[in-house]
Amino acid sequence: MGGYGTGSTARPALTESRRADVVVIGGGFTGLSAALALAERGIDTVLLEANAIGWGASGRNGGQVIPGLKYDPETLRQRYGQERGRRWSNSPDAMPMWCSN
């Protein structure tokens, strides 16, 4: 059950009862960040992950933020005109060209 990158190894399964101040479920970006922040503050923390660390959405996202596409096509046409709004909503690759005009 190794993860990505070098040095990834399987982690031990939880086979017995374990008490902790906080249990974090999920080893994605948010779960790891929360568990680390708690542990750094001296809080007894257990992180539970059913798969490899980062296995879910945190390991699959493209890390992209495309705020120009959060608007629906009608809003784009109203804001930028019929032709430019149509092109923008159909072709995200052309967005830098439109932003410079």
Of the CA atoms within 13 Å of residue 3, those in its CB half-sphere come to 19
How confident is the model at residue 94, as a pLDDT? 47
pLDDT of residue 9: 56
Q: What string of pLDDT tens digits covers the 101 residues of the chain?
A: 344 444 455 677 888 899 999 999 998 888 999 999 999 999 999 999 988 888 777 767 665 555 455 677 788 788 888 888 877 776 655 444 444 44
Could you tell me the pTM of the whole model?
A: 0.52
**DSSP category for residue 54:** T
